[in-house]
């Protein structure tokens, strides 16, 4: 099954020059969604991890399904001001703006070995921010996986330079 067939591009969204990959058709097709989780699990098995960090918002979908499939704990990296308890925060740049991620301080056990999970690797900014966020909070990051890598943005090379082992299921 070619999963890229279920990820149509939407040109000029959310800004001119951006090709947005819509995951809705993949999620709407049970066989394609199941296959994406099975293949993401194969990537994840290359890392020694105890927990997955799903990155808001589409990383939540794949993170929760993979955590259930792999019988691993799940933590969520949220956008600012959505968590009720004390949180760690990290700001970062995107290919079309800036944002921040937060994780509640009490979410992960101290000995957690965390695998970062997001839907798309573009410039690497979000994954680098998640890595920095977790490391500054005292957690071990084992690596990062994504459903899709947009290769011309060179995010993989940037993650490599940051010392973040990473794998992507699909390159486009």
The catalytic residue positions are 58, 95
Long-range pairs for 54-60: beta carbons < 8 A, 24 or more residues apart: 54/117, 54/118, 55/101, 55/116, 55/117, 55/118, 55/126, 55/127, 55/130, 56/101, 58/23, 58/118, 58/119, 58/120, 59/117, 59/118, 59/119
Q: Which of 123, 170, 128, 165 is nearest to 149 (CA)?
A: 170
C-alpha triplet 1, 157, 55: angle, nearest 5°: 65
The owner of tokens 């760690």 is: 88
Q: Which of 120, 130, 119 is nearest to 164 (CA)?
A: 130
């Amino acid at each position: 099954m070619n999963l890229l067939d279920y990820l149509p591009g939407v040109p000029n969204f959310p800004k001119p020059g951006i090709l947005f990959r819509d995951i809705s058709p993949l999620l709407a097709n049970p066989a394609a969604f199941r296959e994406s989780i099975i293949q993401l699990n194969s990537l994840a098995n290359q890392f020694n991890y105890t927990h997955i960090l799903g990155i808001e918002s589409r990383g939540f979908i794949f993170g929760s399904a993979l955590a259930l499939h792999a019988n691993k704990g799940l933590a969520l990296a949220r956008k600012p001001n959505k968590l009720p308890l004390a949180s760690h925060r990290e700001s970062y740049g995107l290919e079309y703006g800036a944002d921040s991620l937060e994780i509640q301080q009490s979410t992960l056990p101290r000995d957690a070995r965390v695998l970062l999970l997001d839907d798309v690797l573009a410039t690497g900014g979000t994954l680098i921010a998640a890595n920095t966020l977790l490391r500054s909070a005292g957690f071990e990051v084992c690596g990062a996986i994504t459903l899709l890598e947009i290769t011309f943005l060179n995010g993989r090379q940037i993650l490599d330079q940051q010392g973040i082992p990473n794998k992507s299921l699909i390159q486009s």
